[in-house]
Structure formats: C-alpha cells, structure tokens
Amino acid sequence: MASIETPIMQPLRAIAGDWKLLPSFMPVPGMGALAVNSLVLNCSEPLLVDTGLAALRDDWLERLGEVVDPVDLKWIWISHADADHVGNLAALLEVAPSAKVLTSFLGMGKLAMAGIRPERMQIVEPGGLLEIGGRRLLPIRPPYYDAPETLGLFDPGDGLLFTADCYGALLPGPVERAEDAGVQALREGMVQWSAVDSPWLGQVDRDGLGATLKAFGALAPQCVVSSHLPPVAGGLETLSPIIFNAWCRNGGGPADTFHVEAVADVLHAAA
C-alpha cells in the first residue's frame, strides 16, 4: 500500500450484477488516502451514482465513457452536495443532455444554489421507491453521514448497498479491495474517518445507533459500497461491528472529536 501525493484514478471494475465501479483515491495529508467512488448501473436507463473529483475530471470522464456514453445517461444520483461527490456534475450535465439529477429536497436546494437548474433535478427521499429501467431502487439514510441531505441506496435485485460517506475509511494508501488493507488498518481507518467526518457520533444515543446498525444488517446486502472504501463482499458483517464497537460500547466515543488525537480514545475503546 504505497502512499500517494496526488489524486489517482484506478481502472473500472465490475462489482455486483449490472453495477460498475469508477474508483479513485485522494491523498489526505498526514492521514493517508481516501477512496472516492462513483458507480454506474448499466441498465436500459443508465444511472450514475456521484460524479467524482474535479481534479481528475478528464480521467473520470474517460472511465465513465467506458461504461456508458454520457449522451445515453438517464439518471445521476447525487448522494449529497459535498465537493467529492459533485466534482464533475456541472461538466457532466453539459454532455449528458438527457440525464436528470436525483437528490433529496435539501440536496436540490444546495445544488440549485450551486447553479444546477431545478428542471434538471428530481426529488427522491429515504423510505421512497424508485423504479427505473425495470429495476427497483430503495433510497436509504445511512446510519451516519456528514450532510443531512445524504441519500444512500439499496438495489435488492443485485444485492448492492451504497452507503455514501458511511463505512468509509482513511487507509495508508490505495487498495483494490478493502481486505487488502488488513484488518487493523481497516478498523483504525474506519474509526478515524467516522470521527473526522461525523463528529456528532460522540453525542449520539448509543442504543439508537446500535438499533440502526442492526436494522441495516437485515438488508443482508451481497456487496457494500461506501463512497470512501473499496467494495466489501457481504460487507455489513465486517463493517458494522467496527462502528458498533467504536461508538456504541464502552461509553461510546469522546464527546469532542474536534481534535484528531481524540480518535486514539475511540480506537482504545474499540480494541
């Protein structure tokens, strides 16, 4: 796992059923590397999930073109309006005239403020149902997140669960599979990322978070894809216990996670 100093794009990968992964990594100075994933569902109404890093625009558009011609793209699912998820949205809309952006009500407001025209957007909300190209997709709110508009999704047909920022990890360097990082690096990286990206976990009701993690387990996905971790086969059996042990046991995490040093307390409690 070599460290990186600039963002890199990895080759396109098939991950589950009709889903393809457009993987990239960005360096996080002093903390390692963070995966930044986009997904494509290749069906009769092609759907893209998130739009990658602006710093990798040419490479990212080239990878996307290996799966679907942007002219044929019908849907662009935006998990939330952070820069690492909408980095190429405006540029893509220019070359994808048929594509409509799917986002939550709050997401629509944030994207409108960023200059995306309302007529190019359609609202979906957690708990709803989206039917596209003969497929059923379930919008979900992940157990934790860094923006309230966040929309994950579950595809019961291919058993794929996309969790946005949830279950991400800061890793020492780019890997193709999460397990390639090793058990300890994965655990530490997930706890670090959750503490940095969702500091409110330190104040959350532990039983409530535990119940949410358990409810997600009932989905029994065959593949879990975070925006910020390579796909994990099965997935929740590996990932949820790490978060549960870090934030729901032993008194939970520190109340103030502003200082990165406080992450060590969480790691100690999770060991």
Applying CB under 5 A, the residues found at the interface with Fe ion are 82, 84, 146, 165, 227
Least Å from the CB of residue 43 to Fe ion: 25
- Contact between 258 and 206 under an 8 Å Cβ cutoff? The reply is no
Closer residue to Fe ion (CB): 63 or 110: 110
Least Å from the CB of residue 69 to Fe ion: 27
Q: CA–CA separation, 35 vs 7, rounded Å?
A: 10
Least Å from the CB of residue 226 to Fe ion: 9
Query: Among 231, 252, 174, 205, which Cα is nearest to 14's?
Result: 231
Least Å from the CB of residue 111 to Fe ion: 14
Closer residue to Fe ion (CB): 146 or 158: 146
Closer residue to Fe ion (CB): 45 or 146: 146
Least Å from the CB of residue 36 to Fe ion: 7
76's tokens: 């662009």
Give 46's DSSP letter. -
Instruction: Enumerate the H helices of 27-122 as residue ranges.
Output: 57-67, 83-86, 89-95, 105-113
Closer residue to Fe ion (CB): 150 or 212: 150
How far from 265 is each of 111, 168, 190, 270, CA to CA, in Å?
37, 19, 14, 9
Closer residue to Fe ion (CB): 86 or 242: 86
Residue with nearest beta carbon to Fe ion = 82
How far from 135 is each of 22, 48, 158, CA to CA, in Å?
21, 14, 10
φ, ψ of residue 153 to 5 degrees: the values are -150, 155
Least Å from the CB of residue 104 to Fe ion: 14
Closer residue to Fe ion (CB): 43 or 178: 178
CA 257, 206, 167: angle at the middle one, nearest 5?
Answer: 65
Instruction: Enumerate the H helices of 161-235 as residue ranges.
Output: 183-197, 206-217
